[in-house]
């Protein structure tokens, strides 16, 4: 949030000029009163994308004490976006910001624009992330052009709908694999060797079905803050083999191969095996879905240079930069509507419940690797 003590960023008017403009907008009388009385958060922006005037709902959303306090800031600064530390709109991540896109389109076309945006919101008791529906429209006050921006918090509706769609989508996919395998087993002319293979596959699909239901329960509990991590001794190679087998039962596996990485080591560490497997299975699922039929992905475990446990999933594909910037956003997905909790869920479980972190690296020649980095023992390296 802009205050008198913060520096003036280039490409914008000074705070004094912004406050002077605020006084002119207030002098517009009925227009300013209409904006103030509107129930949803509204802000009037100048050509430099700075907030000039805002209503009480916008001030509550940003934690500001009056229109003067937020005047002169850009939306990301007012909302406490971590990417706005050097000025809202100047970070690389701002290229994919829905607020910035909506405002820029309205400024360029003179037409209303609607976008969705995930942003860190300020104010006491605010959640660390919000899903906002952003509407920008051209607006004129006293003959001067502005952009009016409205922000609607759709976090609850978006989140509930996404959880349901993802859960039922995955559940139906697993059930479909179960049915196909069962139909094959019903053939009377099926050789004994083939029947044994299909029975083993059926067992794997049942495990995957149970894993999907368990995964949904875990994410709901994690979202509500009621999840409790259970600490047990885990053997790394056995863990990798178990997750590999579960991944092979997913519909995403198809004709793709899941391998144990050649560097994979065998050692023990203490963590929650259910949560660790959930994260790794999501990593493998994403890796499989990113590759064509016939490709191979791998999973492995090693000790990091700092003594931490590093569990890795690799696939040959490369992620474009615009995808990299949005990987851990809660509802971002390259797979279509109703997806995108996978990587965000990994990060949530790793950081908040396992004391670790999830990171990735991607390169056109070496492919993409997602890593779950954990302490050997909870609370320390």
Which residues in the chain show pLDDT less than 50? 1-9, 121-127, 337-340, 380-381
What's residue 329's pLDDT? 72
Residue 157 is encoded by which pair of tokens? 């509706």
CB atoms within 10 A of CB 193: 8
What's residue 206's pLDDT? 77
What's residue 343's pLDDT? 82
What's residue 168's pLDDT? 61
Q: What is the pLDDT of residues 41-77, one digit of tens each?
A: 999 999 999 999 999 999 998 889 999 999 999 999 9
State how far the Cα of 381 lies from the Cα of 370, in Å rounded to an integer: 20
What's residue 156's pLDDT? 65
Question: Residue 256's Cα: distance from chain center in Å?
Answer: 26
CA diameter of the chain: 87
What's residue 127's pLDDT? 47
What's residue 58's pLDDT? 94
Q: What is the pLDDT of residues 324-344, one digit of tens each?
A: 777 777 656 666 544 445 787
**How do the domains of the chain map onto residue ranges?**
15-153, 157-374
| Domain 157-374 fold | Heat Shock Protein 90 (3.30.565)
State how far the Cα of 358 lies from the Cα of 362, in Å rounded to an integer: 14
What's residue 201's pLDDT? 75
Secondary structure string (H, E, C) spanning 274-286: HHHHHHHHHHHHH
CATH class belonging to 15-153: alpha beta
State how far the Cα of 253 lies from the Cα of 246, in Å rounded to an integer: 10
What's residue 88's pLDDT? 87
CB atoms within 10 A of CB 3: 11
Looking up tokens 């851990």, which residue turns up?
Answer: 328
Sheet holding 367-374, edge to edge: 257-260, 296-303, 309-315, 367-374, 357-363
Using CB atoms within 10 Å of the CB of residue 225, give its burial: 0 to 12 exposed, 13 to 18 middle, 19+ buried.
Answer: exposed
């Amino acid at each position: 949030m802009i205050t008198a003590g913060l520096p003036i960023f280039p490409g914008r008017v000074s705070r004094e000029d912004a406050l002077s403009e605020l006084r002119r907008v207030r002098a517009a009388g009925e227009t300013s009163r209409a904006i103030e009385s509107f129930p949803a958060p509204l802000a009037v922006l100048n050509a430099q994308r700075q907030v000039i005037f805002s209503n009480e709902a916008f001030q509550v959303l940003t934690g500001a004490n009056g229109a003067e306090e937020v005047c002169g800031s850009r939306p990301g600064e007012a909302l406490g976006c971590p990417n706005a530390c050097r000025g809202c709109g100047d970070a690389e991540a701002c290229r994919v910001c829905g607020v910035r896109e909506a405002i820029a389109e309205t400024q360029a076309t003179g037409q209303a624009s609607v976008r969705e945006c995930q942003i860190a919101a300020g104010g006491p008791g605010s959640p660390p992330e919000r899903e906002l529906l952003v509407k920008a429209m051209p607006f004129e006050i006293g003959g001067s052009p502005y952009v009016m921006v409205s922000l609607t918090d759709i976090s609850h509706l978006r989140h509930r709908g996404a959880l349901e769609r993802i859960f039922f989508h995955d559940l139906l996919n697993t059930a479909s694999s179960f049915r196909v395998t069962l139909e094959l087993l019903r053939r009377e002319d099926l050789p004994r060797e083939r029947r044994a293979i299909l029975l083993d596959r059926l067992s794997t699909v049942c495990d995957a079905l149970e894993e999907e239901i368990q995964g949904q329960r875990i994410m709901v509990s994690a979202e509500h803050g009621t999840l409790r991590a259970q600490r047990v001794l885990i053997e790394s190679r056995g863990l990798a083999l178990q997750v590999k087998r579960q991944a092979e039962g997913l519909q995403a596996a198809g004709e793709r191969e899941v391998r144990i990485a050649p560097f994979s080591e065998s050692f023990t560490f203490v963590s929650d095996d259910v949560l660790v497997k959930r994260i790794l299975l999501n990593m493998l699922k994403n890796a499989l879905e990113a590759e064509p039929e016939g490709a191979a992905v791998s999973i492995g475990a090693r000790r990091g240079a700092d003594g931490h446990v590093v569990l890795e999933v690799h696939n040959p594909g490369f992620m474009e930069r615009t995808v990299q910037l949005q990987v851990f956003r809660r509802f971002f997905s390259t797979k279509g509507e109703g997806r995108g909790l996978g990587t965000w869920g990994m990060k949530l479980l790793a950081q908040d419940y396992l004391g670790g972190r999830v990171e990735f690296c991607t390169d056109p020649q070496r492919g993409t690797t997602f890593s779950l980095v954990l302490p050997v023992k909870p609370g320390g390296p």
